């Protein structure tokens, strides 16, 4: 009995996955409601043309961080796959979570229409009012799909704006239509398409095997202990335990690992692109072999560990390169985020180079476009920081609401002889500083501009 408990006392991977799904669900639903300094943790707003990241708002003209985010996404997935196989698919993918909620929670646990341990058996609609239960299950999932679709939109439209828009549906038909379209897709996907999405549609399954090596963790069946159930042509040759060629082979041919698989594969056949690493087969074999006082024949391990009896290497050339690439990407992203400007300013020179007024006063006209990218009203001021001989003659501080833009005509003048050149007009480099009076240390930008000074013979 001690030996039996040794192999059955471990917490099933299914329970660990359920806890992970619960955490991801709470995290995904709650994240859009969390703000830092009035900005979202993550928001890609096409309405306001902003990216919010960790409480900092970036205007669309500042989206130099997007390439780094995409690099993190793809390199991160490649790194996870190289180390843990399709761990994303089995433990974090919304498709898998939605199917578990509908199939294992609603159909199996609440309405008892199927068994979690036998995912491949179809529902028998001839008994137990299963047709009525099925209809109710679809209605429940439809409501949950609507919540999931709304939650998805909250990462593009902040929840407070989303619910405000719903109060005036006639003015936001596109938003409502988009949410309903996502809801309809989720209903079709989870109830009709099911795991066929993972098998036939998801592109990730097509590239996973390229990223695997002998040290990649995956659900793997030990042919050394259990015996070969399939031949080299992937044809099943063993149907009953008595058919195993070697009496030392431990597989009982109970097919528990097969019936529990959500993608309808037999893990004993070897690596298959349909496997999503949910580890249901590991739990099933652990239960069966544990009753015999033996370790599971299907393990969450690597080919080296199971087949070659060598330790799994976490740090190897490809994983080290992935982690280096991720570290560099994160470091560059933080460096670039430090260049964030808390207001936008475009400076354009007027088509007329300069004007000469009485007393040899030279003026240049500029058109400045201000934009407030902060979440509060700000009053902007302007000054020339590197040439005391040039003064601002036309500009008054003004207040700008969040997200708004304002165009201002600015006149710079000088009555000094900046350049003594009889041959040509001379461009003089200057620096303009614009800042918010409320927070001049944080909300400030510097822009280079050119002040054109006329040749000397044009001056009186």
Tokens of 188: 């079709």
Please report, to the nearest 10 degrees, the dihedral formed by the alpha carbons of residues 373, 379, 384, 390 taken in order.
130
Q: What DSSP assignment string belongs to 297-342?
A: SEEEE-HHHHTS-----SS-HHHHHHHHHHHHHHHHHHHHHTT--S
| Strand partners for 298 | 221
Site of tokens 């944080």? 442
* CB-based contact 375:37 (threshold 8 Å): yes
Other CB atoms within 10 Å distance of the CB of residue 103: 22
Mean pLDDT along residues 1-20:
73
How far apart (Å, rounded) are the C-alpha atoms in residues 66 and 55?
16
Cα angle: 43, vertex 47, 51; to 5 degrees: 30
| Residues 96-155 pLDDT 10s | 999 999 999 999 999 999 999 988 888 888 888 999 999 999 999 999 999 999 999 999
Other CB atoms within 10 Å distance of the CB of residue 242: 8
Give the confidence band of 62 by pLDDT, cuts at 50, 70, 90: low
Closest CA to 447 of 415, 404, 403, 412: 412
Tokens of 417: 């002889």
At residue 154, the 3 state secondary structure works out as: coil
φ, ψ at 300 (rounded to 5°)? -85, 90
Of 58-72, 79-93, 305-319, 427-441, where does mean pLDDT reach its minimum?
58-72
Tokens of 3: 């030996």
Give the confidence band of 283 by pLDDT, cuts at 50, 70, 90: very high
Closest CA to 384 of 412, 353, 421: 412
Task: Kindly tell me the sign of the dihedral angle through the C-alpha atoms of 262, 265, 267, 270.
Answer: negative
pLDDT surpasses 60 at 391? yes
Helices and strands per DSSP (H, E), number in the chain = 15, 16
Note the pTM of the prediction, 2 decimals: 0.78
Mean pLDDT along residues 177-191:
96
Strand order in the sheet with 378-384: 398-400, 378-384, 426-436, 444-453
Closest CA to 457 of 349, 325, 311, 356: 356
Residue, of 8 and 256, whose pLDDT is higher: 256
Tokens of 277: 């690493």
User: What burial class does residue 375 get, using C-beta atoms within 10 Å of its C-beta: 0-12 exposed, 13-18 middle, 19+ buried?
Assistant: middle
pLDDT surpasses 80 at 399? yes
* CB-based contact 390:361 (threshold 8 Å): no
Of 37-46, 85-94, 184-193, 355-364, where does mean pLDDT reach its minimum?
37-46
Q: How many residues does the chain have?
A: 460
């Amino acid at each position: 009995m001690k030996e039996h408990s040794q192999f059955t006392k471990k917490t099933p991977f299914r329970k660990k996955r359920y806890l992970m799904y619960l955490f991801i669900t709470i995290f995904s639903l709650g994240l859009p409601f969390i703000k830092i300094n009035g900005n979202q943790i993550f928001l890609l707003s096409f309405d306001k043309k902003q990216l919010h990241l960790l409480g900092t708002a970036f205007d669309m003209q500042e989206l130099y961080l997007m390439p780094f985010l995409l690099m993190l996404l793809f390199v991160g997935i490649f790194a996870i796959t190289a180390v843990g196989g399709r761990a994303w698919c089995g433990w974090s993918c919304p498709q898998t979570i939605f199917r578990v909620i509908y199939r294992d929670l609603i159909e199996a646990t609440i309405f008892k229409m199927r068994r979690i341990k036998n995912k491949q058996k179809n529902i028998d609609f001839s008994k137990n009012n299963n047709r009525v239960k099925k209809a109710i299950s679809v209605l429940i999932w439809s409501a949950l799909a609507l919540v999931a679709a709304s939650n998805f939109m909250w990462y593009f439209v902040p929840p407070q704006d989303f619910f405000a828009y719903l109060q005036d549906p006639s003015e936001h038909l596109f938003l409502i239509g988009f949410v309903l379209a996502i809801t309809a897709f989720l209903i079709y996907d989870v109830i009709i398409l099911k795991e066929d999405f993972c098998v036939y549609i998801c592109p990730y399954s097509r590239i996973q095997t390229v990223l695997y090596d002998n040290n990649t963790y995956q659900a793997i069946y030990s042919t050394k202990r259990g015996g070969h159930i399939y031949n080299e042509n992937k044809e099943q040759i063993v149907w009953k335990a008595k058919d195993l060629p070697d009496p030392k082979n431990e597989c009982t041919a109970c097919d528990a690992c097969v019936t529990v698989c959500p993608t309808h594969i037999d893990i004993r056949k070897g690596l298959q692109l349909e496997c999503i690493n949910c580890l249901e087969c590991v739990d099933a074999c652990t239960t069966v072999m544990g009753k015999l006082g033996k370790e599971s024949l299907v393990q969450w391990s690597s080919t080296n560990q199971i087949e070659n009896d060598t330790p799994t290497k976490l740090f190897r050339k490809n994983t080290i390169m992935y982690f280096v690439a991720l570290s560099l990407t994160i470091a560059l992203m933080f460096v670039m985020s430090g260049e964030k400007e808390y207001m936008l300013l475009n400076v354009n020179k007027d088509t007329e180079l300069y004007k000469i007024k009485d007393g040899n006063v030279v003026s240049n006209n500029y058109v400045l476009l201000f934009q407030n990218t902060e979440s509060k009203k700000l009053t902007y001021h302007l000054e020339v920081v590197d040439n005391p001989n040039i003064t601002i003659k036309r500009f008054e501080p003004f207040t700008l609401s969040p997200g708004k833009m304002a165009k201002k005509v600015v006149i710079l003048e000088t009555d000094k002889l900046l350049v003594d050149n009889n041959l040509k007009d001379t461009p003089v480099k200057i620096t303009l500083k614009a800042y918010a009076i409320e927070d001049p240390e944080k909300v400030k930008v510097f822009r280079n501009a050119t002040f054109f000074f006329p040749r000397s013979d044009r001056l009186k």
